[in-house]
Structure 1
């Protein structure tokens, strides 16, 4: 069977990551224990996650004309992602400054830069969307660009997976085009204004609510509503666990697995990622996901 074609539309950032014993309070300076510079951004992370999980992944987005942009494209391509349509715009690439404490918790500050210029899709970009099995998008690029891609996907029969992060209101037009919504609790509240996960099914036909160490919830309008237990591992860094989850979920869905089982597999991907420090460098290979995977019963 050919690998599913997963087109990821989203951000690409250079992640500047420092580890420290405790996260600094406002106005406080603390010493770091380590520093790494890796490719990141939700778009790049999810494309790499999909590639490592066994998908034929391509990334649509924008990088800057600076040295970070050159490095970003090279590292994303080295991870097996098709970067042929990745735009280069004049100016700075996106940057994320990430601090991770000894418990694996993190704080992140993102400067979008080139990501904000990703507007007005070309025919080549739209063609990639139309030919995909699954389109994956987030909200670290302009929402009108995501909506344009979702329209093209719907017209072509490409399934649309939206990871509505970071938390914000999502236009009704975009939600009407979404086949599967993936959100955490803050993102769910921003969309529905309610606490109960079932509220998500009033705006989309299928939804996954990620709950961190407490696992995930999956529901659909066919009557499924169930909790998916977390896969227990020793937590090192949760920075990219959500992106590992989303990328793996897109691959499993593209392979036509039952969605509930796909969520279980994606949960294993998130857990495998959290065992290592870093964002894109921590995203697991398919064999590592299978090692932790517990099928739905």
Structure 2
């Protein structure tokens, strides 16, 4: 498929109903919203729009409802360069999120609507994924779709690089997103595996356990690849994983080593979408390669430079409101980094 995007994101395109609250309420507590508004979001759309802003050729596979929320989501996408030809419209209520955003930029999110949960891949979706250089999956992707993407990747002679963001805690994903058994398959197959603190604690039991299991999965994959290539061949195709810790930085498990990196210090206005922006930056620098349609290995480019670039994308996005409000261009990221060297 010559017209297929070089990067395909599979994830929700949603409307975020955004409440600027005095505080994030404790159980049985309350808060006051000084402003109520809405904006475009959804993990899949956030990653796709961020990559589009970095001048990547990206398409989105998603599903919205035939309602006002779905119409607005499609209008937002149409104003970007993202290929939205694989965003279908169904009869279910559109997926949307209620976001409580506190003055310090921290937030709580409640999601509803069945439109994305009912997504299933059709033959054209599978062909686009097989033809892509990179495919991105979020943990909120329905389990049947995640398994379908894995099957496409594993059956394609020249498969796309696979990027998976665990996104949410296991108990939140059950019945809605990717199931634990499928997450395990993705852990062993993904070229880039990402998890935030909450998701890692829920699935692995904590950061130390996450590092151990991820490292074991990476070693098993490299050992298997060496067995296919033959003894003595270099293990030059290590997968990579990142555990994100918000303002406390990130832990990278890659190339047989574990390293900790700092986040950039900025005045946070809204942390919504920061993790998605970070993943988009990693895809750009570690996975997508130097040119459009060029499938690179995860080892492309220095490790630290890739983390620094992705962290800058996330930091800049946090300085504006909403999940996509501050997404930068490549030139803006480079200026931001240069000013801090």
TM-score where L is the length of structure 2: 0.80
Alignment of 1:103-182 (within 5 A): 103-119=104-120, 121-154=121-154, 155=156, 156-168=158-170, 169-171=180-182, 172-182=184-194
* Contact 2:97-2:111 at 8 Å conserved across structures: yes
Larger Rg computed on CA atoms = 2
Asked if the contact 1:8–1:43 (Cα under 8 Å) also holds between the matched residues in 2, the reply is yes
144 and 26 in structure 1: CA distance in 2 versus 1, 3 angstrom threshold: same
| Local SS of the residue matching 2:325 | helix
- Show CA shifts across 1:246-292 (max 9, x none): 11211222024426222221111110111111112232222222222
SS at match of 1:86: strand
Matches of 1:194 and 1:240, distance apart in 2: 23
Equivalent in the alignment of 1:202: 216
Q: Which residue number in structure 1 is paired with residue 37 of structure 2? A: 36
Q: Answer whether contact 1:244 1:270 (CA < 8 A) is retained.
A: yes
* Aligned twin of 2:278: 245
Call closer, same or farther: CA 1:22–1:191 in 2, change over 3 Å: closer
Q: Which residue of 1 aligns with 2:335?
A: 291
Q: In the aligned structure 1, how far is the partner of 2:98 from the partner of 2:327?
A: 19
Question: Which shows bigger deviation, 181-190 or 57-66?
Answer: 181-190
Partner-residue secondary structure (3-state), 1:264: helix
Following TM superposition, by how much is the alpha carbon of 1:128 offset from its aligned partner in structure 2, in angstroms?
1.2
Q: Equivalent residue of 2:83, what SS?
A: coil
- Contact 1:240 1:282 survives alignment (8 Å): no
Which deviations, in whole Å up to 9, do the C-alpha atoms of 1:63-122 show, x marking residues without a partner? 011111111011022121110011111121001000111111111101141011012x11
Q: CA deviation at 1:42?
A: 0.6
Change (3 A) 1:22 1:229: same
Contact 1:244–1:284 (8 Å) recurs in 2? no
Kindly tell me: are residues 175 and 259 of structure 1, through their superposed partners in 2, closer, same or farther at Cα, counting changes over 3 Å? farther
Higher alpha-carbon deviation: 158-167 or 274-283: 274-283
CA contact (8 A) 1:54 1:251 kept: no
Alignment of 1:225-240 (within 5 A): 225-240=258-273
Q: How far off is 1:125 after superposition? A: 0.5
Provide the C-alpha distance between the structure 2 equivalents of 1:201 and 1:151, rounded to a whole number of angstroms: 23
- 3-state SS of 1:150 partner: helix
Long gaps (5+) in structure 2:
171-179, 219-238, 290-295
Which residue pairs with 2:12 in the alignment? 11
Aligned residue pairs: how many?
291
* In 2: Cα distance, 1:22 partner to 1:190 partner: 25
- Residue 44 of structure 1 deviates from its aligned partner by 0.9
Which residue in the other structure is 2:320 paired with? 276
**Deviation of the 1:242 alpha carbon:** 0.4
For 1:288 and 1:245, the matched residues in 2 are separated by: 15
Distance 1:251-1:5 versus aligned 2 partners, 3 A rule: farther
The question of whether the paired residues in 2 share the 8 Å contact of 1:150 and 1:178 is answered with no
Query: Are the aligned partners of 1:6 and 1:250 in contact in 2 as well (CA < 8 Å)?
Result: no
The structure 2 residue matched to 1:258, chosen from 301, 313, 323, is 301
What is the aligned partner in structure 2 of residue 65 from structure 1? 66
Q: Give the conservation status (yes or no) of the 8 Å contact 1:50–1:248.
A: yes
CA-based RMSD: 2.1
> Deviation at 1:179?
1.4
Identify if the C-alpha distance between structure 1 residues 98 and 170 changes in structure 2 by more than 3 Å, giving closer, same or farther. Answer: farther
Residue 188 (str. 1) matches residue 232 (str. 2)? no
SS at match of 1:140: coil
